[in-house]
Each structure stands twice: as structure tokens, then as C-alpha cells.
Structure 1
Amino acid sequence: MGEISIKINIADRVYPLKVSMEEEEIIRRAAKLINDRLKEYQENYAVRDKQDLLSMAVLHYATASLKAERKVTDEDTQVADNVYKLDQLLTNFFSK
């Protein structure tokens, strides 16, 4: 599918983007999550500077991304270990 032009508002700044139609909903949801996080930080902390709020949000989402990445890697390792053990059991069983 083709690209479309959209405008995304983050921290009271508008960013014109060209995105694929498949990505539009995800990008709009991401912008909403960011703005919601900024609003939460602004309400709960004595931070008013948009740059500081954006930095805090970036840190939050980068940390969450790294945690998710680690979890996937750990689960992949566990699956690979279990497949290896199962393969060994089957090899031993059929070699008798």
C-alpha cells in the first residue's frame, strides 16, 4: 500500500510524517501514549520543561523495550534448551 501524509502532535509540537497506511494507527497510538505519559509526569512531578518530560518518557519506553527484549531472549533460550533436551531424550530412546 502507499504512503499517506499525517500530522502527529507530541508535546504541543506538530510533526508532519509520511507513513504507510498500515503504520498509521500504530504511530497515532504511540503519539497518544507519549502524550499521556508526559501529562502523567507533568501532573505528578514538579517538572514543567517539555524537554525534561520528553527525556523522562524516552527513558521509560527505552527501559520497557529493553526489558521486553530481554524477556524474549530469555524465553527463546529456554525454548532452545528444552528442544535440545527433548532431542537428546528422543535420540537416546530410539538408539536403544
Structure 2
Amino acid sequence: MGEISIKINIADRVYPLKVSMEEEEIIRRASKLINDRLKEYQENYAVRDKQDLLSMAVLHYATESLRVERKVTVEDTEVADGVYRLDQLLTDFLSK
């Protein structure tokens, strides 16, 4: 599919983007999440500078991304270990 032009508002600044139609919804949802996080930080902390709020939001989402990445890696390793053990059991069973 082709690209479309959209405008995303983050921290009261508009960013024109060209995105694929499949990505549009995800990008709009991401923009909303970022703005919601900024609003939450602004309401709960004595931080008013948009740059500081954006930095805090980036740190939050980067940390969350790394947590998920680590969890997926651990789960992938556990699955691979399980498949290896199952393969060994089947090999042992079939060789008898």
C-alpha cells in the first residue's frame, strides 16, 4: 500500500509525517500515549518544561521496551530449552 501524509501533535508541536496506511493507527495511538504520559507528569510533578517532560516520557518508554525485550528473550530461551528436551526425549524413545 502507498504512503499517506498525516500530522501528529506531540507536546503542542505538530509533526507532518508520511507513513504507510498500516502504520497510521499505531502512530496515532503512540502519539496519544506520549501526550497522555506528558499530561500525567505535568499534573503530578513540579516539572513544566516540555523538554523535561519529553525526556521523562522517553525514559519511561525506553525502560518499558527494554523490560519487555528482556522478558521475551527469557521466554524464548525457556521455549527453546523445552523444545530441546522434548527432542531428546523423542530421540531416546525412538532409538529404543
TM-score by length of 1: 0.98
Q: How does 1:1-96 map to 2 (within 5 A)?
A: 1-96=1-96
**Superposed displacement of residue 63, structure 1:** 0.5
- Post-superposition Cα deviations, 1:14-55, rounded to whole Å, max 9, x if no partner, equal 000001111111000000000000000000000000000000
Q: What one-letter code is carried by the residue in structure 1 that aligns with 2:94?
A: F
Work out the CA distance in 2 between the residues paired with 1:90 and 1:5: 54
What percentage of residue pairs aligned between the two structures are identical?
Answer: 90
Gapped runs of 5+ residues in structure 1?
none
SS of 1:6's equivalent in the other structure is strand
Q: Secondary structure at the match of 1:47?
A: coil
Any idea what the Cα deviations from partners look like across 1:64-95, whole Å, max 9, x if unmatched?
A: 10111111111100000000001111111111
* Over 3 Å off, 4+ runs: none
Q: Which runs of 5+ in 2 are unaligned?
A: none
CA distance in 2, matches of 1:78, 1:45: 40
Length, aligned pairs only = 96
C-alpha distance in 2, partners of 1:51/1:63? 18
TM-score (norm 2): 0.98
